């Protein structure tokens, strides 16, 4: 039960609940959902060869390299679950992730121009920049941002069913709250950030 939206969960979940929350948190991570999003949008860009090139670029520069960076810093800061717990520790991995997104964005634009997938990648990069700025003062939920952004992209690409990904948001938010990773306010802020950035850039560029 949420008593204070600005405070971490103060209960003590059972071992079964903790395990379920960890599994949901991993499966609902921005990296896992971005793989699904990039493949779903990448298969729309053209012939088989172009699709394969596009998806490979996204997976390498927007998933594998950022994931490796986050994993490295997670271990460096003794976070055994793959997260970077303290907002103060987010600066370097977020900056490295932004650089990876920038390279990926340049390659996608060279391959496909300003299509839906390129704009989606731009949304990821801008969201990461804003998360980095917010994290200088406050810990915002990257998981919530990582659910809402691709949900909008898939809703545009595959209406109306693509938007069903948004149904994961309350489940993923619950998992982060129960694990005491974020307050409800931090989860809400992450979701709002993802929605505002994605809707704004889609409106401006598509």
Tell me the residue range of the domain where 27 lies: 15-205
Identify whether 6 is part of a domain: no
pTM above 0.85, yes or no: yes
C-alpha span between 31 and 66 (Å, rounded):
9
Residue 173 has pLDDT above 80, yes or no: yes
21 found inside a domain: yes
Angstrom distance (rounded) from CA 59 to CA 38 = 8
CB 33 within 8 A of CB 150: yes
89 domain residue, yes or no: yes
Q: Count of domains in the chain?
A: 1
pLDDT at position 4 is 80
Report helix, strand or coil for 6.
Answer: coil
Give a yes or no: residue 2 inside a domain: no
- Asked if residue 176 is part of any domain, the answer here is yes
pLDDT given at position 1: 63
Q: What is the pLDDT of residues 41-98, one digit of tens each?
A: 999 998 999 999 999 999 999 999 999 999 998 888 877 777 888 888 899 999 999 9
Q: Alpha-carbon distance 136 to 176, whole Å?
A: 20
Helix ranges (DSSP H) in 136-183: 142-157, 168-178
Which whole number is the average pLDDT over 95-116? 96
């Amino acid at each position: 039960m949420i008593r204070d939206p600005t405070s971490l969960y103060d209960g003590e979940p059972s071992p079964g609940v903790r395990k379920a929350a960890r599994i949901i948190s991993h499966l609902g991570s921005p990296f896992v959902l971005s793989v699904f999003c990039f493949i779903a949008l990448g298969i729309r860009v053209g012939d088989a060869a172009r699709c394969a090139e596009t998806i490979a670029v996204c997976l390498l520069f927007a998933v594998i390299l950022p994931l490796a960076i986050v994993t490295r810093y997670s271990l460096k800061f003794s976070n055994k679950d793959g997260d970077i717990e303290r907002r103060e520790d987010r600066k370097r991995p977020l900056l490295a992730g932004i650089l990876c997104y920038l390279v990926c964005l340049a390659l996608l634009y060279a391959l496909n121009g300003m299509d839906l997938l390129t704009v989606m990648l731009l949304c990821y990069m801008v969201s990461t920049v804003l998360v980095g700025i917010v994290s200088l003062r406050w810990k915002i939920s990257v998981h919530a941002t990582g659910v809402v952004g691709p949900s909008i992209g898939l809703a545009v690409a595959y209406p109306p069913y693509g938007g069903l990904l948004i149904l994961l948001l309350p489940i993923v938010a619950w998992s982060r709250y129960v694990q005491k990773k974020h307050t409800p306010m931090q989860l809400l802020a992450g979701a709002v950030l993802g929605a505002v950035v994605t809707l704004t850039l889609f409106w401006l560029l598509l």
